């Protein structure tokens, strides 16, 4: 089937397939790297007597759980829409992100409690130089993964890959604190290694909160952001035949944005001409906003607008 303005399905299918491959590749790199880092950090932390590096190994284990959840969700979300899920299975990514937030948060609490016990005891061993070199290697690997995964997440608009990227980036900062703790401990203050472990726990919990917040926005069907909504409102108003836009709202499912637009047209307009106006609105919004995949248009409704949609329209109209 040849792509055309009236039949964009082949192009859309190829775009979704490319999105799927990019997302899986980014998550797969995270799975492999985290698996290696868990072993490397854990062994070096135990052998080299570094509480901070052991905590960082637990952090990598939480990252691995997040990557596995993201990988699974991408496999599910790529499934096409069906009678029970007409807009696809994109919500699977937000659900996986919530699961990852729970796993990461639990790991943070466990690491924090263990490090707190070490701090309360007031006794810690001086970590070996081996732990420093392992931490430096982990930092470089995680920094590369964070940059790569963040770029993929922004390009394909994936909550799951974005959660993975957040984990990598937080691991970079956490590992930097571990390195600082090891250096200070080697300088004669071994308790700072345990303190580094406690700070890593804080970063793990912060990561869990950020992952949960981003996923919650999607699951709660937060409407269009103001910039995109104002742009779509402006575009809909300038379609020939539209007398007024009376309501606009939208929601996001992974990489798909669904927009609902309510318009007024000349009540004497023939049905065929009204259909042309509706199609023009759909084509214009989908072509001008790459993330928009579905547009629902309602014309000349005499019923009061739903309060949520009306509130969204008032807010966007103020910014248009």
pLDDT in tens, 182-199: 999 889 888 888 888 888
What is the pLDDT at residue 223? 59
pLDDT at 3: 46
pTM summary value: 0.61
Task: Name the pairing type of β-strands 256-264 and 292-299.
Answer: parallel
Q: Which residues of the chain have pLDDT under 50?
A: 1-5, 8
**pLDDT value, residue 159:** 65
CB 172 within 8 A of CB 115: no
pLDDT of the residue at 1: 40
Place of tokens 């909160």: 209
- In the sheet where 244-253 sits, what is the strand order? 244-253, 256-264, 292-299
């Amino acid at each position: 089937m040849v792509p055309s303005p009236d039949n964009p399905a082949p192009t859309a299918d190829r775009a979704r397939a490319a999105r799927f491959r990019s997302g899986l590749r980014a998550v797969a790199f995270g799975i492999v790297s985290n698996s290696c880092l868990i072993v490397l950090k854990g062994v070096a932390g135990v052998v080299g007597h570094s509480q901070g590096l052991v905590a960082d190994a637990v952090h990598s284990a939480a990252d691995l759980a997040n990557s596995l959840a993201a990988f699974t969700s991408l496999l599910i979300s790529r499934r096409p829409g069906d009678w029970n899920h007409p807009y696809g299975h994109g919500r699977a990514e937000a659900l996986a992100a919530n699961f990852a937030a729970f796993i990461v948060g639990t790991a943070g609490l466990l690491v924090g409690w263990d490090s707190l016990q070490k701090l309360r005891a007031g006794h810690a061993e001086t970590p070996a130089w081996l732990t420093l070199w392992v931490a430096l290697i982990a930092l470089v690997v995680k920094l590369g993964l964070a940059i790569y995964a963040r770029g993929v997440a922004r390009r394909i608009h994936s909550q799951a890959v974005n959660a993975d990227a957040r984990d990598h980036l937080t691991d970079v900062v956490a590992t930097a604190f571990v390195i600082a703790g090891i250096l200070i401990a080697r300088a004669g203050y071994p308790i700072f290694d345990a303190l580094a472990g406690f700070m890593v726990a804080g970063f793990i919990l912060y990561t869990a909160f950020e992952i949960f917040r981003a996923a919650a926005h999607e699951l709660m069907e937060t409407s269009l952001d103001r910039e995109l909504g104002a742009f779509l409102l402006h575009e809909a108003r300038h379609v020939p035949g539209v007398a007024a836009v009376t309501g606009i709202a939208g929601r996001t499912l992974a990489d798909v944005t669904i927009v609902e637009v309510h318009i007024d047209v000349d009540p004497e307009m023939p049905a065929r001409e009204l259909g042309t106006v509706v199609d023009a609105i759909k084509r214009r919004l989908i072509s001008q906003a790459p993330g928009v995949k579905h547009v629902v248009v309602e014309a000349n409704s005499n019923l009061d607008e739903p309060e949520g949609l009306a509130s969204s329209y008032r807010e966007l109209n103020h910014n248009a």
